[in-house]
Amino acid sequence: MDWGLKNRLSRIIKPETGRTVMLAVDHGYFLGPTSGLEVIADTVQPLLQHADSLMLTRGALRTSVPPDFDIPIVLRVSGGTSILHEDLSNEDITTSMDEAIKLNASAVAISIFVGSAHEKETLTNLARLVTEGEACGIPVLAVTAVGREMTRDKKYLSLCCRIAAELGAHFVKTYYCDDFAEVVGTCPVPIVIAGGKKISEKDALKLAHNAISNGAVGVDMGRNIFQSDHPVGMIKAVRAIVHENVKVEEAYKLYRKSG
Ligand code: R5P
């Protein structure tokens, strides 16, 4: 890994704790104006100061994030399908590395769909993106998307994470599952977890705590933050778990206090 790539990665995974709270607001790239993200700027701006990085598309970035706000950007660069299509795996790369540089991205993110109809294309897109990213010092986050027919278990997620790392991803985003330590243990690059569909605040905090306790370096959480009744309280509580190792009850109190 060259200096620039390591430097960008260290803007996201904080050297002080070795951990990260990434805020994911890229959902619109296939879900459109999903609940909580109807007006991206309104949702994102109060949360920016509490996030270690922001994951989103170029369109959301240009229109909804002030360019003078210093936050590392993880630019989603895959897409091409919508929720109306049965097969979401038919993604391609939607921007270029030149554009990622122009937008001062600290990393780029691409979904892979292991076991789905377009598995091969998504995996070779990842490999190509890694080659291009390494040529200009930009790390690549592989997102292990789970098709409707797949099960989010240790066997499947270990397979996805390991393939992503072997193809050169610099870090991987996946889902939490039982025996998660084994998913982490067999993946040679850092793992962050997605929050998934909105669940109760306490359950989402438990999820973050379990993931961190089992070796994740952080979260790349969206709906369980921005769809919360108190998104700022929620991101502060998640931060306390990720960076300060606080217990779930204590984090929950923080969430309640900020509400
Ligand atoms: C999905 O492909 C997107 O990357 C989402 O941003 C991701 O799933 C994380 O968001 P959430 O915590 O809402 O699952």
pLDDT digits (tens, 9 = 90+) for 213-234: 999 999 999 999 999 999 999 9
- CA of 174 from ligand 1 middle (Å) equals 9
- Predicted confidence at residue 259, as pLDDT, reads 66
Question: How far apart are alpha carbons 6 and 31 in whole angstroms?
Answer: 32
In a domain, residue 203? The reply is no
Res 7 pLDDT > 80 = yes
Atom of ligand 1 nearest to the CA of 145: 2
Q: Which residues approach ligand 1 with their CB closer than 6 A?
A: 24, 26-27, 111, 143, 145, 194-196, 220-224
In a domain, residue 99? The reply is yes
- Predicted confidence at residue 40, as pLDDT, reads 97
Long-range CB contact pairs, 199-204, < 8 A, 24+: 199/224, 201/228, 201/229, 201/234, 201/237, 201/252, 201/255, 202/248, 202/252, 204/228, 204/234, 204/238
Mean pLDDT of 10-27: 98
Pocket test for ligand 1, best of 25, 26, 88, 171 (most atoms within 8 A of CB): 26
- Predicted confidence at residue 258, as pLDDT, reads 83
Give the domain CATH number at 132.
Answer: 3.20.20.70
- 150 or 209, higher pLDDT: 209
- 1 or 121, higher pLDDT: 121
Over residues 68-89, the pLDDT tens digits come to 999 999 999 999 999 999 889 9
Dig out the tokens for 144 from the structure: 């292990």
- Predicted confidence at residue 34, as pLDDT, reads 95
> Which has the closest alpha carbon to 43: 21, 70, 24, 20?
24
Dig out the tokens for 54 from the structure: 């922001």
Share of the chain above pLDDT 90, in %: 95
> Which has the closest alpha carbon to 189: 214, 210, 172, 213?
172
Mean pLDDT of 86-95: 92
In a domain, residue 226? The reply is no
Q: Which domain holds residue 189?
A: 3-195
Atom of ligand 1 nearest to the CA of 25: 6
Res 1 pLDDT > 80 = no
Strands 140-144 and 53-56, how do they pair? Answer: unpaired
In a domain, residue 229? The reply is no
Please say if 120 is a catalytic residue: no
Residue pair 141/107 in contact by the 8 Å Cβ criterion? yes
Res 5 pLDDT > 90 = yes
In a domain, residue 142? The reply is yes
- Predicted confidence at residue 240, as pLDDT, reads 98
- Predicted confidence at residue 86, as pLDDT, reads 82
- Predicted confidence at residue 63, as pLDDT, reads 97
User: What is the DSSP code (8-state) at residue 229?
Assistant: S
- CA of 185 from ligand 1 middle (Å) equals 23
In a domain, residue 191? The reply is yes
How many domains would you assign to the chain? 1
